[in-house]
Structure formats: structure tokens, C-alpha cells
């Protein structure tokens, strides 16, 4: 009887090759399972795409970038009020500008699907100032405008900044008045004086006159004294 003797190195080579082949098959099988799972997840995501999109609130993302100075968030069921509300906001801006010379910036209206159907929220510089409950459905617009007006006045220091005061200075026709003012007061001082006048319901609409009178009292030691003197001239 003839006996074939297989070299040990050949047996070892076959063993290693078999192990490698099994390992490769395992990897390929795992990848196939992963692809099937991803495909199933993708189909599920596509199937629920509308529901998924409805849950996304891009306005919350925008908040982090400080894009809006003033923002009103409405619940989903009130999104059809946006056009009428914007018209009311234009009226409010005109009212504050005419009565106080206080021009509030544009207000952005958006929808927040996390809000309940009977509430809305007002933000100033990305910070929620207050979440309001709707009291009378037939007076929703008037209620929002009244609360917006209150917030704009109570938070004027966050809305009326140095750039706003500087713009008023730039618009003064007599530049010598501006020179006199800036010799005694900083732009921040002028900003604080104007804010205090508005807080006391004194109009700064007549910009040339306000700045001219302010330049007269600019050498007074405190801002309160300047405001007090201005009140007598502007009332």
C-alpha cells in the first residue's frame, strides 16, 4: 500500500487560507447586513419625511446666530395670521416713531411647532422675554401688538444701541453741535440720555432740537441732571 505524505507546511498553509477565507466571508456578510439595515432605515426615513420635517424648527437654530433683534413665535395653528400681524406691526412702528421718535427694528414672525395652540412667544436678541396666553381669540392681533409694544419699551436698552445713537448724531444738520456734544459726552452717554427720555415718554423725534438742547446742558456733572434739564425744554 502506497502512503502519501503531505508536508506539514502545506497543511498549515491550507489551514491559514481557510481561516482567512472565513474571516473575509464574515466581513462581507456583516457589510451586507449593515447595508440592508441602512436601506431599511432610509426607507423608513423617507416614508416619514413629512412628519420629520414638521418636527424640525429652523428658527431655534437661527436664534443662536443672533439674526433677529425682535422675533414673535406663533403656534402652528396661527401661522395664517402672519400677514395681518405684519401689517399691525408696521402700524406700531409708525406709532412709536411719531409719538416718541423711537424707531424699532423690523420684527420677524415665525412658527414654533412646540408652542401650544393658545400661546405665543416674543424674543429680544434671541432671548425669550415672555410666553403669552391668548386671552380672546377675536382680539389676538391687538393683544400681540399691545404686548409687543410693552416689550419694546421695557427692553429699549437692548434694542436702542450705540449705533442708533450714532446714526442720530450723523443726521444732525449743524455739525458744531455734534462737536460740542462729543467734547463733553460719549456716544454711550448720549444713548443713555435718549433712552431715559423715551422711558419718561418724552419724544426725541425732533432730532436737531434734542441734540442742540443736549449740547447746552452737556457740561452738567451727571446724566440725570442733563435729562432733567432736557425735560423742561422738550415737554
> Please, is 10 exposed, middle or buried when counting C-beta atoms within 10 Å of its C-beta (0-12, 13-18, 19+)?
exposed
Residue 1 lies in a domain: no
Residue 231 lies in a domain: no
Domain that holds residue 149: 64-158
Q: Are 121 and 128 in contact (CB under 8 A)?
A: yes
Residue 4 lies in a domain: no
Residue 171 lies in a domain: yes
User: For every one of its 235 residues, what pLDDT tens digit does the chain have, with 9 covering 90 and above?
Assistant: 545 454 544 445 555 566 666 767 777 766 666 655 655 554 454 444 434 334 434 434 444 444 578 999 999 888 888 899 999 999 999 999 999 999 999 899 999 989 999 999 999 998 999 999 988 778 899 999 999 999 999 999 999 999 999 999 999 999 999 999 999 999 999 999 999 999 999 999 999 999 999 999 999 999 999 999 999 999 8
Domain count within the chain = 3
pTM across the whole model = 0.68
Residue 216 CA to residue 162 CA, distance in Å, equals 21
Amino acid at each position: 500500500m502506497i502512503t502519501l505524505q503531505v508536508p506539514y507546511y502545506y497543511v498549515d498553509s491550507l489551514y491559514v487560507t481557510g481561516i482567512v477565507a472565513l474571516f473575509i466571508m464574515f466581513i462581507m456578510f456583516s457589510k451586507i447586513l449593515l447595508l440592508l439595515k441602512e436601506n431599511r432605515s432610509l426607507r423608513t426615513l423617507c416614508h416619514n419625511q413629512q412628519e420629520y420635517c414638521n418636527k424640525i424648527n429652523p428658527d431655534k437654530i437661527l436664534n443662536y446666530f443672533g439674526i433677529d433683534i425682535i422675533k414673535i413665535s406663533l403656534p402652528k395653528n396661527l401661522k395664517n395670521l402672519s400677514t395681518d400681524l405684519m401689517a399691525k406691526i408696521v402700524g406700531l412702528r409708525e406709532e412709536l416713531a411719531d409719538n416718541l421718535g423711537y424707531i424699532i427694528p423690523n420684527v420677524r414672525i415665525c412658527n414654533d411647532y412646540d408652542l401650544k395652540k393658545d400661546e405665543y412667544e416674543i424674543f429680544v436678541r434671541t432671548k425669550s422675554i415672555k410666553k403669552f396666553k391668548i386671552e380672546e381669540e377675536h382680539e389676538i392681533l391687538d393683544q400681540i401688538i399691545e404686548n409687543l409694544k410693552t416689550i419694546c419699551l421695557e427692553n429699549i436698552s437692548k434694542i436702542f444701541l450705540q449705533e442708533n445713537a450714532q446714526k442720530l448724531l450723523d443726521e444732525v444738520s449743524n455739525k458744531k453741535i455734534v462737536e460740542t456734544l462729543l467734547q463733553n459726552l460719549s456716544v454711550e452717554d448720549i444713548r443713555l440720555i435718549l433712552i431715559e427720555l423715551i422711558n419718561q415718554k418724552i419724544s426725541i423725534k425732533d432730532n436737531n432740537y434734542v441734540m442742540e438742547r443736549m449740547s447746552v446742558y452737556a457740561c452738567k456733572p451727571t446724566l440725570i441732571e442733563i435729562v432733567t434739564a432736557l425735560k423742561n425744554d422738550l415737554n
